Structure 1
Amino acid sequence: MESHAGLAATPRALPYYVAFSQLLGLIAVATTGAWLGLYRGGIAWQGVLQFNVHPLCMVIGLIFLQGDALLVYRVFRNETKRTTKVLHGLLHVFAFIIALVGLVAVFDYHRKKGYADLYSLHSWCGILAFVLYFVQWLVGFGFFLFPGASFSLRSRYRPQHIFFGATIFLLAVGTALLGLKEALLFKLGAKYSTFEPEGVLANMLGLLLAGFGVTVLYILTRADWKRPPQAEEQALSMDFKTLTEGDSPSSQ
């Protein structure tokens, strides 16, 4: 694909993979809503339906929106680095807030019902993913958006930031799959093995979540699909005018 007026060319296959990831993500969110509506009574903040707020918020926040935040640097290839960083950070903020609502919902539901907290592998992985996500955002904000961090320090931290971002996303997807299986076993028990309609739909949801995660990670790990360095990168990446040393930063 040819570039225009000095703009970086977009790899030919990249838009199709991004579109496919969005299709999978949106269908996964819709399927989550359908599962909760058809077989779990819908969602509400009061009563037994409060629990259903948890899976919906986690799929939207820690999976779909987090995945989209990771793709920002692949999709927006010619916008200024600061604009892209702000969009990346805002998507993570929205994901965190929605996930926080889901977390509060399940703890509040357990408290009202007198159920135990944090005893399952799903809950342990979920708390770990949420805490790491929050810490990752705080550290990322401190290094890349908040004034003060030098360019050399940012450059040394960037590979760790990228690695932990992908790792937390993968952990979130795995945790969702654990929670989905746990919810099915609690309700269906032995009937799960008889191909109950709810079990089949939930299994399809699990495949959609896994497919979305794999597609996002594939896009992120294609070295030739990374945001390319630009001639004006050093000037564009001077977040709040704190960049005073070094060469132009490499792309994420």
Structure 2
Amino acid sequence: MEGFKSFLFFLVSALLLGFALVIFVLVWVLHYSDGLAWDGGNPEFNWHPVLIITGFVFIEGIAIIVYRLPWTWRCSKLLMKFIHAGLHLTATVLVIVALVAVFDFHNAKKIPNMYSLHSWVGLTIVILFVFQFVASIVVYLLPITPVSVRAAVMPIHVYSGLLLFGGVIGTCLMGITEKLIFALRNPAYSTFPPQGVFVNTLGLLIVIFGGLIMWIATRPAWKRPPEVALKDQHSFGGSSGSAPPEYSKSDKSDVELNSDAARKRNLKLDEAGQRSTM
């Protein structure tokens, strides 16, 4: 991997920040709010930010960059697909529980549902996320999908994943602001109370975490090599594991193609040398 030290810095920063997000949201609901419960009251609503930030921000962010971890490059592509899908599934389950909590809270308190921009954008992202998740299982995990179709869909899959993740970050910020405006009346949100400052800091950390994940996910030098390149590396490096041949010869990297060309040139030179000595 090119720039491994730089990658390691961003990865460790993202992981530490991700854990900090979970700690911050727990401190928010346990210290500044009414805790956690499933009773139709505010403690039930508090599950919403906890599960959204844990599942839709932290776990989903890890799912996006899991292919970039060089320590997993010796694992088969199929195993990494299951890990990638498993992280997405975990995030999906947590998000669904978070939605149930907020709808149940609204119904118990006779609060209208789906009237805010936060709720419109949030539900749209959840629906699109679930659709992409199901479609990705069909395309990339079921063996019935041709390789050509997988290759054609991959740019859309990557782009939509990053787009939805960015939408999650923006929706979290809208939800945090909306909650603080409603919750902080005395003292008012505008007077910089400790809870307001603390949760605003949480919002900034969410933005920074999202930026780190997107930076890691979009650096070409940190991309997982094609399976054929990994297979060659394993064979020359003495590794017993080999990856399944999911890529065709056209998927070879420039380094591999240059190496093939160099071997052919050397072979021609050897043949020419043999003829000259005969």
- Asked if TM exceeds 0.5, the reply is yes
Q: Give the letter for the 2:21 counterpart.
A: A
- Render the CA deviation track for 1:66-88: whole Å, top value 9, x for unaligned: 10000111013332111111100
Q: State the match for 1:115 in structure 2.
A: 111
How does 1:75-90 map onto structure 2 within 5 Å? 75=69, 76-90=72-86
Q: Quick one: which of 59, 62, 66 aligns to 1:72?
A: 66
User: More displaced, 70-79 or 203-212?
Assistant: 70-79
Q: State the match for 2:19 in structure 1.
A: 26
Q: State the match for 2:102 in structure 1.
A: 106
Q: State the match for 1:5 in structure 2.
A: none
Report whether the alignment pairs 1:180 with 2:145.
no
Report deviation, 1:15.
1.7
Q: Give the letter for the 1:226 counterpart.
A: K
CA distance in structure 2 between the partners assigned to 1:25 and 1:52 by the alignment: 19
SS of 1:115's equivalent in the other structure is: coil
Unaligned runs of 5+ in 1: 1-7
Q: Does structure 2 conserve the Cα–Cα contact (< 8 Å) formed by 1:77 and 1:227?
A: yes
Q: State the match for 1:236 in structure 2.
A: 243
Report deviation, 1:9.
6.9
Provide TM-score, normalisation by structure 1. 0.89
Report deviation, 1:12.
2.5
Q: Quick one: which of 2, 6, 9 aligns to 1:16?
A: 9
SS of 1:236's equivalent in the other structure is: coil
Q: Give the letter for the 1:65 counterpart.
A: I
SS of 2:5's equivalent in the other structure is: coil
SS of 2:184's equivalent in the other structure is: helix
Q: State the match for 1:55 in structure 2.
A: 49
RMSD: 2.0
Query: CA, structure 1 residues 150+249, in 2 after alignment: closer, same or farther (shift >3 Å)?
Result: farther
Count of matched residue positions in the alignment of Structure 1 and Structure 2: 239
SS of 2:111's equivalent in the other structure is: coil
Report deviation, 1:145.
0.4
Report deviation, 1:193.
1.8
SS of 2:228's equivalent in the other structure is: coil
SS of 1:47's equivalent in the other structure is: coil
CA distance in structure 2 between the partners assigned to 1:28 and 1:248 by the alignment: 42
Q: State the match for 2:124 in structure 1.
A: 128
Q: Give the letter for the 2:243 counterpart.
A: L
- Render the CA deviation track for 1:126-176: whole Å, top value 9, x for unaligned: 101111110110111111001210000000000000000111111111101
SS of 2:46's equivalent in the other structure is: helix
Report whether the alignment pairs 1:194 with 2:187.
no
Q: State the match for 1:42 in structure 2.
A: 35
CA distance in structure 1 between the partners assigned to 2:46 and 2:183 by the alignment: 13
User: More displaced, 118-127 or 71-80?
Assistant: 71-80
Q: State the match for 1:203 in structure 2.
A: 200
- Render the CA deviation track for 1:16-71: whole Å, top value 9, x for unaligned: 21111011111011100001111111111113111111111100111111100001
Q: Does structure 2 conserve the Cα–Cα contact (< 8 Å) formed by 1:10 and 1:77?
A: no
SS of 2:45's equivalent in the other structure is: helix
Provide TM-score, normalisation by structure 2. 0.81
Query: CA, structure 1 residues 247+140, in 2 after alignment: closer, same or farther (shift >3 Å)?
Result: farther
Q: Does structure 2 conserve the Cα–Cα contact (< 8 Å) formed by 1:143 and 1:149?
A: yes
CA distance in structure 2 between the partners assigned to 1:182 and 1:209 by the alignment: 16
- Render the CA deviation track for 1:92-121: whole Å, top value 9, x for unaligned: 000000111001110111111111111101
SS of 1:13's equivalent in the other structure is: helix
When Rg is computed on C-alpha atoms for both structures, the one with the higher figure is 2
